[in-house]
Chain A
């Protein structure tokens, strides 16, 4: 009698426990952090907004891009080796993203506003992808924006001219303007596309 009663209670109890476990597991699964392949940035202080000009003289601020994932690369036009390779890679990433690329914007911010005239910047940046935007400003505006991203940059003499040592990272901001990921020169096209697709959802 008592054994039968115990049995009757045990079955609903077990079913309940299994349902709870399944619920918890699926909750953990759905709420788990996305498995990014790029280095993730800890949530830091909000980025100060910037006001820069694009190569057509239009004003751009960070806030203009809310709702879109931003991919920001700092460089300069007279950079023969690294910058073209990185921009070319980002152009291929955008192709790989297909329709999701509508929700992603690549910005190239020059660290050499003195030499990189708007016309030069336009010719350079759009050669990689016509949707890429090149931004410039005064030396102090650029310095401020770079500092906000912790981008180190310094002029160094190269021959009779100069080059610019600079952080070669690619910064990725989510649609709400938060710093999220950091791409490197070694980051593969596939990995960029994988992570941007998650952020662009």
Chain B
């Protein structure tokens, strides 16, 4: 009976096995169930570890082209949070002097836009910045935005820290992110 060499590591350090353990492990590795721990590891540990490394993601960031001479713009995105509750505290972009978070709601036919100091991101929830709802107002654009332009936008969260996304500029009055079809 030849001996199987066992090299195991735990937290980066080699693990010493006793003689009996080595025999049991090498016997197990030659059985037809040897693949089982691998499967268990990949199905349980990997999906759990993945989001833990990056518990919050910002996707589908887009903006609208601006007419010449107009110094304000808008940005929209979607925040997907797999982790615990977080708070979007502020935004930065080199394309504008300021990026404010705004809410928009229609009360008795009157649209009301308000600046928000922060936006709550619920645990395991999604927050959409979208037309006629939450949006980012870009103030004092350094140049007009043209369709297909791209610019960076950094979202600063209380826990997740800074998350940078690339914003894709769409048509003047586009209603959705690139790729999505406009409902009309």
Interfacial chain B residues near A81, Cβ < 8 Å: 74, 102, 104, 113, 131-132, 135, 137
B178 to chain A, nearest CB (A): 16
User: How far does the alpha carbon of A167 sit from the alpha carbon of B104 in the complex, in Å?
Assistant: 13
A177 to chain B, nearest CB (A): 23
User: How far does the alpha carbon of A73 sit from the alpha carbon of B172 in the complex, in Å?
Assistant: 17
Smallest CB gap from A188: residue in B: B184
- Chain A residues 81-120 with CB under 8 Å of chain B are 81-82, 84-89, 91-92, 119-120
Interfacial chain B residues near A185, Cβ < 8 Å: 106, 111, 132
Smallest CB gap from B184: residue in A: A189
When the two chains form the complex, which single residue of B64, B98, B110, B115 contacts A165, counting CB atoms closer than 8 Å?
Answer: B110
User: How far does the alpha carbon of A149 sit from the alpha carbon of B24 in the complex, in Å?
Assistant: 87
User: How far does the alpha carbon of A127 sit from the alpha carbon of B146 in the complex, in Å?
Assistant: 12
- Chain A residues 146-201 with CB under 8 Å of chain B are 152, 156, 158-159, 161, 163, 165-169, 184-185, 188-190
Tally A residues with Cβ within 8 Å of B.
37
A147 to chain B, nearest CB (A): 14
A80 at the interface (CB under 8 A from B): yes
Interfacial chain A residues near B68, Cβ < 8 Å: 123, 127
**Given A127-B68, A128-B173, A163 contacting B113 (CB threshold 8 A):** yes
**Given A80-B73, A128-B173, A169-B109, A92 contacting B184 (CB threshold 8 A):** yes
A36 at the interface (CB under 8 A from B): no
Contact B173–A158 (Cβ < 8 Å): no
Interfacial chain B residues near A161, Cβ < 8 Å: 139
Contact B113–A165 (Cβ < 8 Å): yes
When the two chains form the complex, which single residue of B67, B102, B104, B113 contacts A123, counting CB atoms closer than 8 Å?
Answer: B67
User: How far does the alpha carbon of A73 sit from the alpha carbon of B184 in the complex, in Å?
Assistant: 19
Smallest CB gap from A152: residue in B: B110
Contact B109–A167 (Cβ < 8 Å): yes
Can you spell out 13 A-B residue pairs with CB atoms less than 8 angstroms apart?
A81-B104, A85-B132, A86-B173, A88-B171, A88-B174, A89-B184, A120-B69, A120-B70, A124-B67, A156-B113, A159-B100, A166-B110, A169-B109
